Amino acid sequence: MRLFSLPGLSVAVALALAGFAGSTVSLAQEEKDASRPEDMKPYVEKIPGTDQKFEMVPIPGGTFVMGSPATEEKRSEDEGAQHEVAIAPFWMGKKEVTWDEYDEFAFAFDLKRKQREGVDTAKQSESEKAADAITRPTPPYADETFGLGRKGQPVICITHHSAMEYCRWLSTKTGKLYRLPTEAEWEYACRAGTKTAYSFGDDPSKLEEYAWNVDNAEKPQPVGKKKPNPWGLYDMHGNVSEWCLDHYVPDLYSTLAKGPLAKGPVVLPTAQEYSYVARGGSWDDDADRLRSAARLASNLEWSVQDPQRPQSIWWHTDATFVGFRVVRALNEQEDLRGVKSLVVKKKGTK
């Protein structure tokens, strides 16, 4: 699979982008004012107006060494140089986002339910009105599940933009600021204090206990059926690769390794649709692609079967291996406050 880096994006520019933030939302400041270390407990979030719930796991702040050592078997060049990173406390979805949750947004199930029940939308809370106003995905070109399963299954075939817009909708509905994890947050949570190739050690033969991959699955599997990692997160290795917030910059680590301790590093999304980072490997990957440090960059081939011109900004036709999970910071870092997708249809920003 070819990898496409962001056209014309040097490492220096990429790092400068980390200082950019999208339009702010009041939720961010409200959470910042209300959040305290003692608030870091597991909780269950019920999406208002739906029957859907999901669990959030507290991830303690700390430092870790990001990337893989040169001695790690089957590592890729973009996993180095290793560098120390500081991560602030956050919550992470215990499991990958499922179709059951995502369909409420993507197919406006919440809006249709209100219509059936005769809800007076003019009397709704401001947050509900704002959530209703968020643009929903256009109809997919083909069966978005590709016959691989729906109930309890992880979302697949959605674009980075689509995942970000779901997070924006979810934040507006719940009053809590949810987003995609940064690449650094994702690896920190995946490792869960470990320094080995996988969160359970270096032996890939143990993947059978923790992950779905090409050796034991022929399609995505219902979430949370294997053992969790040491911090209680399921399917961090395998099942579906998971979107991160960051643009993919292949030599980013080499630059970060030359500087001081990197605090919450991120290459913020822009109006360009490619290339973004996905982590964790999938049901369709060999064992080495499920390592904690393995990186994957989205590319145009993920939508090669989409006949539309321009192609959909919501759906990938050839990415049955990619999904996502959500995070929520205890106190959001400044450059992530209010971050949102800047992708716009027909702008030609591939």
What is the model's pLDDT at position 18? 42
**The residue to which tokens 């859907």 are assigned:** 52
What is the model's pLDDT at position 46? 97
Q: Give residue 225's identity as a one-letter amino acid code.
A: K
Full strand arrangement of the beta sheet holding 43-46:
43-46, 53-59, 90-93, 327-329
Instruction: Of 298, 313, 307, give the one whose Cα is nearest residue 349.
Output: 313
- Judge contact between 195 and 65, C-beta under 8 A: yes
Indicate the Cα dihedral angle 157, 155, 326, 314, nearest 10°.
Answer: 40
Q: Give residue 30's identity as a one-letter amino acid code.
A: E
Distance CA 189, CA 41 (A): 16
Distances (CA, A) of 205 to 38, 201, 287, 292: 39, 10, 9, 15
State which residues of the chain have pLDDT below 70.
1-35, 346-350
Q: Quote the strand ranges of the chain, DSSP E.
A: 43-46, 53-59, 62-66, 83-87, 90-93, 241-247, 262-263, 276-279, 295-297, 322-323, 327-329
Strands 276-279 and 241-247: antiparallel
Distance CA 59, CA 90 (A): 5
Using one digit for the tens of pLDDT, what is the confidence trace for 169-222? 999 999 999 999 999 999 999 999 999 999 999 999 999 999 999 999 999 999
Count of alpha carbons within 13 angstroms of residue 241, beta-carbon side: 31
What is the model's pLDDT at position 349? 60
Burial grade of 21 (CB within 10 A; 0-12, 13-18, 19 or more): middle
What is the model's pLDDT at position 14? 45
Strands 83-87 and 262-263: parallel
Q: Give residue 348's identity as a one-letter amino acid code.
A: G
Q: Which one-letter DSSP state was computed for residue 33?
A: H
